[in-house]
């Protein structure tokens, strides 16, 4: 969570961050987001379709979609996210 908040603050004028909660426990997401002050968009994958479509197999998983809507990076580790974002922004 702290890293996502940092990413949002650093790139908010150039990157859209969407946190997608897995289907289990999603009903608690709004209260948690309010308590933690989460500044980016959130969605609840209530049917697991997003998780299946992206092949998410761990949490958190990071997926980067470019300006054209193409999935460019999948299943990134925390340490790789900043570099991948900078790469896409440089194109």
| Per-residue pLDDT tens over the stretch 21-59 | 888 888 899 999 999 999 999 999 999 999 999 888 888
Q: What percent of the chain has pLDDT over 90?
A: 71
pTM above 0.75, yes or no: yes
Structural domains counted in the chain: 1
Domain that holds residue 7: 2-90
Tell me the CATH number at 53: 3.40.30.10
User: Which runs of E-coded beta strand occur in the chain?
Assistant: 18-21, 41-44, 62-65, 71-76
């Amino acid at each position: 969570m702290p890293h996502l908040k940092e990413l949002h603050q650093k790139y908010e004028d150039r990157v859209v961050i969407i946190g997608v909660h897995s289907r289990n426990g999603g009903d608690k997401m709004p209260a948690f987001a309010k308590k933690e002050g989460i500044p980016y968009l959130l969605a609840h994958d209530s049917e697991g379709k997003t998780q299946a479509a992206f092949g998410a197999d761990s949490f958190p998983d990071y997926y980067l979609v470019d300006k054209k809507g193409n999935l460019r990076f999948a299943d990134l580790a925390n340490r790789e996210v900043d570099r991948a974002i900078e790469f896409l922004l440089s194109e």
